[in-house]
Structure 1
Amino acid sequence: MSERPGDAYLEYVRARLPVFQRLAYMLCQDRDRADDLVQDSLERLYLKWDKADDARNTDAYARQMLVRVFLSERRTPWARRVVLVDRFPDAAGAAGPGTAATLAVRAALAQLPPRQRAVLVLRFFSDLPVDEVAETLGCSPGTVKSQTSKGLAALRRALPDFETTAPAGLGTRS
């Protein structure tokens, strides 16, 4: 029996959806916006699935689409919408160890410019090397390094009481 045209796409999305949802949430810090971001980028991925499926790294191709949708969304009038409430509370019982620290880091991360935030999320949350972040964002490795440095400095200023030592391996990327 032959495979239907969309089967490979559906299989890919089912396997990678949680990864893309986490990445989108880390970029925009809002579950609803993250869902919209994932939906928009997966729609674009579907329209270009033949090209993506032929790419040497489908994950990199899809991740690049998601990050670029996030960055371009920030430039549109839709991103300038009025917020009627500060935040809806997260689900009850979601608190756990490190929650205060996690919330503080997320709040500080949300204050960074979108491109700087994208660099830090891709470098340290997605654990990508400089060259792959540069390719994803369409910029030079030097730009990624400078944005990483500026973003980390801004986080250090925003979170002065946090431990300043990096986890093992965090400062060893080039």
Structure 2
Amino acid sequence: MGAASQDEFHDFVAARRPTLLRAAMLLTADRGEAEDLLQSALTKTYLAWGRINDRGALDGYVRRTMVNINISWWRRRRLEEYPTDELPDTPIADHTRRSELRDGLDRILDRLPPRQRAAVVLRYYEDLTETEIAEALGVSVGTVKSTVSRAMSKLRDEAAHELASLE
């Protein structure tokens, strides 16, 4: 890659990193995993930089790459993680930068299964269509509709409990 292309990639990352990290955080529900996910996606983007002709589609390219990598990680984790009787220690949430309502929403999103969380994030945070979500997750449009519907129902129930606990 030439110096001009490297500068262009550097400028893209500098400008879009916060937005892309937010999307990664919503996909993974963990800051460390989100940073790893974004780094992996940016590495793949860097390697493909010369083949990406439409620079206006870079955000979509990186988001799609993050979704694909995240799906790959789910599948790998499914084989490596087994339930136990002991719960792991949970980190203390950082309340200095977020409102209680935002923390409540994050906790509710964390409780969703990975596919439901990904579908909700792509639909309502990334504003993708059901067809685009189906392509990104590798499922049918009907599966996206039912997944989002079940997730939203669960979110409504959980939100009612969260709001009651804040009062």
TM-score range, shorter chain: 0.7 to 0.9
2:72 is equivalent to residue 72 of structure 1:
yes
Please give the per-residue CA displacement for 1:87-106, whole angstroms capped at 9, x wherever unaligned: 1442x63243xx2x222221
Matches within 5 A, 1:22-101: 22-54=22-54, 57-77=57-77, 80=81, 85-90=89-94, 93-96=96-99, 99=100, 101=101
SS of the residue corresponding to residue 160 of structure 1 reads: helix
Please give the per-residue CA displacement for 1:86-130, whole angstroms capped at 9, x wherever unaligned: 11442x63243xx2x222221221121211111100111112222
Deviation (angstroms), 1:56 = 6.8
Asked if 2 retains the 8 angstrom alpha-carbon contact of 1:73 and 1:79, the reply is no
Q: Which 10-residue stretch deviates more, 137-146 or 74-83?
A: 74-83
The 1-side partners of 2:98 and 2:45 are apart by 35
Who is 1:131 aligned against?
Answer: 131
The number of aligned residues is 158
Asked if 2 retains the 8 angstrom alpha-carbon contact of 1:116 and 1:147, the reply is yes
SS of the residue corresponding to residue 112 of structure 2 reads: coil
**Please, what is the CA RMSD of the aligned residues?**
2.8
Q: 1:69 to 1:79 in 2, by over 3 A?
A: farther
The 2-side partners of 1:107 and 1:161 are apart by 12
Q: 1:142 to 1:111 in 2, by over 3 A?
A: same
The 2-side partners of 1:88 and 1:145 are apart by 34
Asked if 2 retains the 8 angstrom alpha-carbon contact of 1:67 and 1:137, the reply is yes
Deviation (angstroms), 1:35 = 0.8
Please give the per-residue CA displacement for 1:116-151, whole angstroms capped at 9, x wherever unaligned: 111100111112222222232233322221211111
The 2-side partners of 1:132 and 1:121 are apart by 13
The 2-side partners of 1:79 and 1:22 are apart by 27
Q: 1:87 to 1:155 in 2, by over 3 A?
A: same
Asked if 2 retains the 8 angstrom alpha-carbon contact of 1:52 and 1:62, the reply is no
Q: 1:143 to 1:52 in 2, by over 3 A?
A: farther
Asked if 2 retains the 8 angstrom alpha-carbon contact of 1:9 and 1:46, the reply is yes
The 2-side partners of 1:73 and 1:144 are apart by 20
Asked if 1 retains the 8 angstrom alpha-carbon contact of 2:71 and 2:137, the reply is no
Matched-pair identity in %: 34
* Structure 1 residues not aligned, in runs of 5+: 164-174
Asked if 2 retains the 8 angstrom alpha-carbon contact of 1:25 and 1:34, the reply is yes
